[in-house]
Chains A and B, each alone.
Chain A
Amino acid sequence: MKTLILGIESSCDETAAAVVKDGKELLSNIVSSQIDIHNIFGGVVPEIASRKHTETIVEVIKQSLKEASIELKDIDAIAVTEGPGLIGSLLIGISTAKSLAFALDKPLVGVNHLEAHISAIHLQDKIGFPFIALIVSGGHTNLYLVNDYLDFKLIGNTRDDAAGEAFDKGAKMLGLGYPGGMQVDKLAKKGSANAIRFPRPLNDKSFDFSFSGLKTSLINFVNKNGVNSDEELNNICASFQEAIVETLIKKTLNAAKKYKVENILIAGGVACNSRLRELSKENIETKGFKVFIPAPNLCTDNAAMIAALGHYRYKNNDISDLRLSPYSTNKVNPKSYTS
């Protein structure tokens, strides 16, 4: 019998809803930024993230059901992001999910946003367990050892800034605006990655990351030398990006070797970075590992991944009650954290 899960995501800037069948088939995947908000609100666009969630969430859910050609009553369970994220934003997704669960008398399943980034891959590829997962985004840079659909062991984390944040703040320093990760990626293609030797942060045996020092060294470099031409700007972007990407790849590869896995997953918004994709082929696949990267719409924040993980939690009877509450920082069982 088929199982249909409605996923709801509102942990940060995006309001999203999706319907997933049997944990692997994507029936719809709606993100608020795709919807013409002007049309819904007659030209008045709410500016604030959490208000934006309140005002778009119902429309986003409706759209996700419509595209999946199902009705609310066909849903088996409602999965929702419980954290980590911005509390005010998370609350909107959670309250909506609770209301639906209560009104429809359907199970409610709270899921972890970062673990869901990992589950996104099941909507696209068949990946063999165990595997190492690098989750890299604007807010997170985490390494997991994934033993099964619901067995996630955190082995590394960022001690300060996330990789995506380093990209964005670096871009800001260079006058490229926010969010700037894509700008850096674009300009880096025209520059030389070896022009400037930025430090490779936390180049040690741990699986933790640190990008704050790299950010500072970029700032110091720009303060001292200035940016005197487009060519120089391209070189700075390429060199800065190389320092981030090389570090991500190296630690991921080290983890794969240590835990003797064959498969590696790279997911999260920064997995869209073209140099990261390139280097994962050059530096990882050539060493005999297989690299999996979800499609861009499954890498950036989305609700399909929430529904995917929700499916496996539902099947495992990990049902939440109506007291489900949001959390801002990643909940980790200290015993499972080994680095």
Chain B
Amino acid sequence: MDHNFSFIVKNQAETKLAGRLITKYTEAGSVIALIGNLGAGKTVFTKGVAEGLELEEPNSPTFVIMKAYEGRIPLYHFDVYRLSEQSEFEEIGYEEFIYGDGISVIEWADKILDVLPDGTVIIEISNFEEVDENARIITVKGKKEWLSLYKNMAEQAFQILKK
């Protein structure tokens, strides 16, 4: 069963930091599914992941659906925003990358969650206007053991949201 916890980020820099920290606990083959509205910070989070992997700074893959960044561990940066259904994701041959030798980050993953492998980490970024228009709540879902590692790290950097 998947477990989850949530924390607050105050601005883009913190969203990016959350992405960078997650790479301490990911390995080749990890899949990170990003969910959030337009402007939530999905690409910013991915920039943090790329920073953690010591790759060049990614920009938005919306138009081309997937951009690959080569490095010690490659990053496959997907954005399924333009796809209208799950079958289209299957058509672009995603398995080759998702089950490949890199870390896959998928923006707008709520559209294709069913086909993602067991063990996919789900990151939901939602607005937190009650505090500030730049603030976000990040909810992380994943396997219990993995999650407790990331939570320990997140606790030191961010304010954890009490349930």
Contact = CB atoms under 8 A, between A and B. Distances in A.
A311 to B, nearest CB: 26
Given A85-B64, A212-B44, 17 more contacts: A50-B93, A51-B91, A84-B67, A87-B66, A87-B68, A87-B92, A139-B64, A140-B63, A159-B59, A161-B59, A165-B63, A172-B38, A328-B61, A328-B67, A328-B68, A329-B67, A329-B69
18 contacts: A12-B63, A12-B64, A47-B88, A50-B92, A86-B66, A88-B91, A137-B63, A139-B63, A160-B59, A162-B60, A165-B62, A165-B63, A212-B39, A219-B38, A219-B39, A220-B133, A328-B61, A328-B68
A39 interface: no
Q: Is the interface of B mostly helix, strand, loop or mixed?
A: loop
Given A86-B65, A87-B68, A219-B38, A212 B60 contact: yes
A219 to B, nearest CB: 4
A161 B46 CA distance: 13
B57 interface: yes
Q: Is the interface of A mostly helix, strand, loop or mixed?
A: loop
A1 interface: no
Interface in B119-139: 129, 133
Contact of A178 (B37, B57, B82, B88): B82
A130 interface: no
B39 A215 contact: yes
Contact of B68 (A178, A215, A329): A329
B43 interface: yes
Interface of B: 37-39, 43-44, 57, 59-69, 82, 84, 87-88, 91-93, 129, 133
Nearest to A210: B59
Contacts of A140: 63
B129 A223 contact: yes
Nearest 8 A/B pairs, CB to CB: A139-B63, A216-B39, A48-B91, A219-B39, A161-B60, A138-B63, A88-B92, A328-B67
Contact of B59 (A11, A88, A158, A220): A158
A87 B74 CA distance: 15
Contacts of B59: 157-162
Interface string A122-157: 000000000000000111100000000000000001
A84 B69 CA distance: 12
A327 B57 CA distance: 17
B66 to A, nearest CB: 6
Contacts of A85: 64
Given A139-B63, A212-B43, A215-B39, A88 B133 contact: no
A173 interface: yes
A49 B64 CA distance: 11
Nearest to A170: B38
A164 interface: yes
A68 B61 CA distance: 35
Contacts of A215: 38-39
Residue from B38, B39, B63, B65 whose CB has the most chain A CB atoms within 10 Å: B63
Nearest to B58: A329
A70 to B, nearest CB: 32
B107 to A, nearest CB: 12
Contacts of A160: 43, 59-60
Interface string A215-253: 110011001000000000000000000000000000000
A86 B87 CA distance: 16
A329 B57 CA distance: 11
Nearest to B63: A139
Contacts of A169: 38, 62
Interface string A82-102: 001111100000000000000
